[in-house]
Structure 1
Amino acid sequence: MKNTTRNFTMLAAAWLAGGLAFGQNTASVRGQLSSVSGQPIEYATVALFSAKDSLLAKGTLSDSTGKFMFEKVPGKTYYVTAGFVGYKTYTSTLINLTGNEVNLGKITMEADEQLLQTVTVTAKKPLVEQRIDRTILNIENSILAEGNTALELLERAPGVTVDDEGNVSLKGRAGVTIMLNGKLTYLSQRELTTLLRGTASGSVSRIEIIANPSAKYDAAGNSGMINIVLKKSDKAGINGSVYVNAARSRANRYGAGTNLNYRSGKVNVYGSYDRAYRGEIEYVSYVRRFHDGNPGAVPNRISYQDTRTNEPLYTNNYKAGVDFFANEKNTFGILVKGNFGKYINDNNTSNLLVSGAGDVLSRPQTHNDNLDRWNSTAYNANWVHQFDDKGREFSVDLDYSVNDNRSNQTMDTRYLNDENPSLATRSVRKGFVPSLTYVYVGKLDYVHPFGEKAKLETGWKSSYVDVDNNLNYDTLSNGQWVKDPSWSNHFKYKETIHAGYVNVSKEFGKLSLQLGLRGENTQTTSNQVTTDSLVKRNYFQLFPSFFATQTFNDKHTGQFSYSRRVERPDYSDLNPFRFLRDPFLYYEGNPFLRPELTHSLELSHSLKGKFITAINYSYTSDVMNWMMGQVDSLNTTSQSPQNLKSFINYGISFTASLQPASWWSSNNFVNVYRNQYKGDQNGGDLNNSIVTFSFNTQNTFTFGNGYSAELTGYYNSKTVYGVFVTKGYSVISAGVQKSVFSKKATVKLMVNDIFQGRQRIQRARYENLDMNGHIRFDSRMATLSFSYRFGKDIIPSRRRQSGSEDIQNRVKGGS
Structure 2
Amino acid sequence: MSIRYSFTLLLVLFLGTCVSAQSENTGDKITFSGQVIDAGSEQPIEFATVRIAQRSDETAQAGTTTDETGRFSVTADLRDVFAEVSFIGYETVRIDSITVRNGRADLGTISLGSQSQQLEEVTVRAEKSQTEFKLDKRVFNVGKDLSSTGASALEVLNNVPSVNVTIEGQVQLRGSGGVQILINGKPSVIASEQGSLLGTITADMIESIEVITNPSAKYDAEGTSGIINVVLKKEERKGLNGALSVNAGVPDNYSVGLSLNRRSEKFNLFSQLGVGYRELPNDEETVNLDKTSGITLFGDGREFRNEKYYNLVLGSDYHIDERNVLTLSGNFAYEIEDQPSSYDYRQTDAAGGTLARWRREEATEATNPKYQFELQYKRDFKDHKDHDLIISAVGSLFSKDQASAFRDISLEGEDRSGQQQTRTDFGQTDNTFKIDYAKPISEKVSIEAGAQYVTNDVSNDFAVSNFVNGAFVEDPALTNVFNWKQKVAAAYGTWAYEPGAWGIKVGLRVENTDLTTLLESTNESNDRTFANLFPSGHASYKISDAVSLQGGYSRRIFRPRLWDLNPFFNPRNAFSVRTGNPNLQPEFTDSYELTSIFILGEASINAGVYYRYTTDVVERITTFSNNVAITQPVNVGTNRSTGLEVNAKVTPARFLTLTGDLNYNFFTRDGALEGVVFDFSASQYSGKITGKFDLPKDIDFEVTTQYLSAFQTVQGNEADQLFVDAGLRKKLFKGRGALSLSVRDLFASRIQISELEGPTFSQYRRSFRGRFLTMGFSYGFGKGETMEYLGQQRRF
> TM-score, normalized by length of structure 2?
0.86
CA distance in 2, matches of 1:528, 1:30: 59
The correspondence for 1:714, drawn from 688, 706, 716, is 706
Distance 1:792 1:59, change over 3 A: closer
1:137 corresponding residue in structure 2: 140
The correspondence for 1:623, drawn from 606, 617, 620, is 617
- Post-superposition CA distance 1:264-298 (Å, at most 9, x none): 11210011111111112221111111022xxxxxx
Distance 1:211 1:576, change over 3 A: same
1:372 to partner: Cα distance = 2.8
2:227 corresponding residue in structure 1: 225
| Residue 201 of structure 1 pairs with residue 194 of structure 2 | no
CA distance in 2, matches of 1:210, 1:29: 29
Contact 2:46 2:67 in 1 (8 A): no
Amino acid at match of 1:354: T
**1:603-618 superposed matches below 5 A:** 603-608=594-599, 610-618=604-612
| Residue 491 of structure 1 pairs with residue 494 of structure 2 | no
1:11 to partner: Cα distance = 6.5
| Residue 327 of structure 1 pairs with residue 308 of structure 2 | no
Contact 1:172 1:675 in 2 (8 A): no
- Post-superposition CA distance 1:456-488 (Å, at most 9, x none): 000000011111111111111111111110100
1:725 corresponding residue in structure 2: 717
CA distance in 2, matches of 1:232, 1:62: 18
CA distance in 2, matches of 1:697, 1:37: 60
Amino acid at match of 1:394: L
Amino acid at match of 1:169: Q
2:758 corresponding residue in structure 1: 766
Contact 1:125 1:141 in 2 (8 A): no
**1:305-344 superposed matches below 5 A:** 305-344=299-338
The correspondence for 1:172, drawn from 172, 175, 178, is 175
2:367 corresponding residue in structure 1: 373
Contact 1:14 1:47 in 2 (8 A): no
1:240 corresponding residue in structure 2: 242
1:255 to partner: Cα distance = 1.0
| Residue 85 of structure 1 pairs with residue 76 of structure 2 | no
Q: Secondary structure at the match of 2:564?
A: helix
4+ residue runs of structure 1 moved beyond 6 angstroms?
Answer: 33-42, 55-61, 186-189, 794-798
CA distance in 2, matches of 1:15, 1:583: 53
1:458 corresponding residue in structure 2: 449
Contact 1:309 1:347 in 2 (8 A): yes
- Post-superposition CA distance 1:544-564 (Å, at most 9, x none): 001111111222211111111
Amino acid at match of 1:302: T
The correspondence for 1:401, drawn from 396, 405, 419, is 396
Q: Secondary structure at the match of 1:578?
A: coil
- Post-superposition CA distance 1:79-108 (Å, at most 9, x none): xxx974245599xxxxxxxxx987355964
Amino acid at match of 1:642: V
Contact 1:159 1:696 in 2 (8 A): no
Contact 2:46 2:68 in 1 (8 A): no
Q: Secondary structure at the match of 1:742?
A: helix
Distance 1:244 1:800, change over 3 A: closer
Amino acid at match of 1:343: E
1:691 corresponding residue in structure 2: 683
Contact 2:607 2:645 in 1 (8 A): yes
Distance 1:220 1:56, change over 3 A: farther
The correspondence for 2:561, drawn from 548, 567, 570, is 570
Identical counterparts, % of pairs: 25
CA distance in 2, matches of 1:440, 1:720: 39
- Post-superposition CA distance 1:575-614 (Å, at most 9, x none): 1112213222221111000000000000111112821110
Q: Secondary structure at the match of 1:746?
A: strand
1:447 corresponding residue in structure 2: 438
Q: Secondary structure at the match of 1:153?
A: helix
Contact 1:348 1:367 in 2 (8 A): yes
CA distance in 1, matches of 2:143, 2:383: 32
| Residue 660 of structure 1 pairs with residue 652 of structure 2 | yes
Amino acid at match of 2:49: D
- Post-superposition CA distance 1:508-557 (Å, at most 9, x none): 33220101000000001101111101111111000000111111122221
Amino acid at match of 2:692: T
2:90 corresponding residue in structure 1: none
1:197 to partner: Cα distance = 2.9
CA distance in 1, matches of 2:275, 2:306: 14
Contact 1:34 1:109 in 2 (8 A): no
Contact 2:236 2:793 in 1 (8 A): no
1:455 to partner: Cα distance = 0.4
Distance 1:10 1:348, change over 3 A: closer
CA distance in 2, matches of 1:671, 1:443: 35
CA distance in 2, matches of 1:307, 1:364: 12
2:81 corresponding residue in structure 1: none
CA distance in 2, matches of 1:777, 1:429: 27
| Residue 103 of structure 1 pairs with residue 96 of structure 2 | yes
Distance 1:694 1:108, change over 3 A: same
CA distance in 2, matches of 1:40, 1:346: 69
User: What 5-or-longer segments of structure 2 have no aligned partner?
Assistant: 55-64, 74-92, 100-104, 110-124
1:138 to partner: Cα distance = 2.1
Q: Secondary structure at the match of 1:141?
A: coil
Q: Secondary structure at the match of 2:51?
A: coil
CA distance in 2, matches of 1:30, 1:108: 17
- Post-superposition CA distance 1:7-44 (Å, at most 9, x none): xx677557547599xxxxxxx998548999968889x8
**1:353-432 superposed matches below 5 A:** 353-390=347-384, 391-418=386-413, 424-432=415-423
- Post-superposition CA distance 1:326-361 (Å, at most 9, x none): 112101100001211122222111111111111112
CA distance in 1, matches of 2:569, 2:672: 24
Aligned length: 731
CA distance in 2, matches of 1:37, 1:710: 56
> RMSD value over aligned CA atoms?
3.2
Contact 2:36 2:70 in 1 (8 A): no
Distance 1:64 1:351, change over 3 A: farther
- Post-superposition CA distance 1:231-284 (Å, at most 9, x none): 222222110011111111xx3211112111000112100111111111122211
Distance 1:11 1:710, change over 3 A: closer
1:517 corresponding residue in structure 2: 508
2:162 corresponding residue in structure 1: 159
Contact 1:266 1:325 in 2 (8 A): yes
Q: Secondary structure at the match of 1:184?
A: coil
Q: Secondary structure at the match of 1:441?
A: strand
**1:173-192 superposed matches below 5 A:** 173-185=176-188, 190-192=193-195
CA distance in 2, matches of 1:278, 1:34: 61
CA distance in 1, matches of 2:33, 2:567: 63
Distance 1:163 1:628, change over 3 A: farther
Q: Secondary structure at the match of 2:194?
A: helix
Report which stretch shifted further, 581-590 or 611-620.
581-590
The correspondence for 2:346, drawn from 342, 347, 352, is 352
